[in-house]
């Protein structure tokens, strides 16, 4: 299989395209044929050596969508998507033609999303969901302020349907020497 690979930290020039042996699923694992993978800020920071715990050499990449080609029989040929965990840090990541993941981490890709769309949901959605829904336990009808709404996580939270978690967001604005008024916030 072809994969991006790095064996030292640095700028993107440390990345190389290499040929590696096709991985085989071990017990409780699955091999996914990666149909699409995205690049997010943690991937760039990881390659630069700004993320703790990365074991080199490594194939980077966290977010992916693909098809299960080896592993538990009930998952074979399933369209899946995923993100995070140790993928790209202590286990080879998604910037390869094939990816090994724990079978317990497999999640079926929503049919309405193509592979490219599903691969970019990843970390931003999961972090937003964990913070807003799992940790803060937001319920429909509640209102929250989303700071950093122009960033990846803030954008995801601000665009959730109100039935999932009621959200109020600020538009991106620059306040310098002017006073901030209540009318700068809208629902």
Shared-domain flag, residues 90 and 10: yes
What's the pLDDT score for residue 144?
75
Across 44-48, 124-128, 177-181, which has the greatest mean pLDDT?
44-48
- Number of C-beta neighbours around residue 181 at 10 A: 8
**One-character DSSP codes across 35-83:** EEE---HHHHHHHHT-STT--SSB-----EEEEEEES-GGGTT-EEEE-
Total domains present in the chain: 2
Query: CA torsion sign, 186 to 141 to 156 to 176?
Result: positive
Shared-domain flag, residues 74 and 139: no
Q: Is the pLDDT of residue 180 over 60?
A: no
- H-run or E-run covering 119: helix 115-119
Grade residue 38 by pLDDT with cuts at 50, 70 and 90.
very high
Residue 56 in tokens: 């080199």
Domain that holds residue 83: 2-116
Average pLDDT, the chain: 84
Shared-domain flag, residues 34 and 106: yes
Out of 46-55, 97-106, 175-184, pick the least confident. Answer: 175-184
CA distance 138 to 164: 9
Shared-domain flag, residues 111 and 126: no
Asked if residues 10 and 48 have their Cβ atoms less than 8 Å apart, the reply is yes
Q: Is the pLDDT of residue 187 over 60?
A: no
Residue 36 in tokens: 């699409």
Shared-domain flag, residues 149 and 100: no
Shared-domain flag, residues 20 and 71: yes
Out of 98, 116, 134, a domain closes at: 116
Whether residue 2 is preceded by a cis peptide bond, meaning omega within 30 degrees of 0, is no
Out of 93, 116, 139, a domain closes at: 116
Compute the average pLDDT of residues 103-120. Answer: 90
Query: What are the pLDDT digits (tens) for 64-81?
Result: 999 999 999 999 999 999
Across 21-25, 171-175, 183-187, which has the greatest mean pLDDT?
21-25
Shared-domain flag, residues 8 and 95: yes
The CATH number for 16's domain is 3.90.180.10
> In the 8-state DSSP scheme, what is residue 112?
T
Q: In what order do the strands lie in the sheet with 64-70?
A: 98-102, 29-37, 64-70, 79-82, 107-108
Residue 101 in tokens: 């993941």
Let me know if 24 is exposed, middle or buried by CB neighbors in 10 A (0-12, 13-18, 19+). exposed
Shared-domain flag, residues 126 and 177: yes
Query: What are the pLDDT digits (tens) for 134-178?
Result: 788 877 777 777 777 777 777 777 776 555 544 444 555 554 444
Shared-domain flag, residues 106 and 147: no
Shared-domain flag, residues 104 and 135: no
pTM: 0.74
Shared-domain flag, residues 55 and 146: no
Out of 57, 92, 116, a domain closes at: 116
Asked if residues 47 and 12 have their Cβ atoms less than 8 Å apart, the reply is yes
């Amino acid at each position: 299989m072809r994969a991006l690979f790095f064996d030292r930290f640095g700028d993107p020039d440390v990345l190389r395209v290499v040929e590696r042996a096709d991985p085989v699923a071990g017990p409780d694992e699955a091999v996914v044929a990666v149909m699409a993978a995205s690049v997010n800020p943690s991937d760039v920071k990881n390659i630069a050596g700004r993320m703790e715990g990365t074991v080199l050499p490594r194939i980077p990449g966290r977010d992916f969508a693909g098809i299960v080609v080896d592993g538990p029989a009930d998952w074979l040929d399933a369209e899946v998507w995923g993100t995070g965990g140790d993928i790209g840090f202590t286990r080879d990541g998604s910037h390869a033609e094939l990816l090994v993941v724990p079978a317990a981490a497999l999640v079926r890709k929503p049919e309405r999303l193509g592979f490219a769309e599903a691969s970019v949901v990843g970390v931003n959605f999961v972090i937003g969901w964990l913070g807003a829904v799992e940790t803060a336990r937001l319920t429909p009808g509640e209102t929250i302020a989303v700071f950093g709404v122009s960033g990846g996580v803030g954008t995801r939270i601000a665009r959730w349907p109100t039935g999932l978690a009621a959200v109020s967001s600020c538009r991106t604005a620059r306040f310098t020497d002017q006073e901030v008024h209540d009318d700068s916030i809208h629902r």
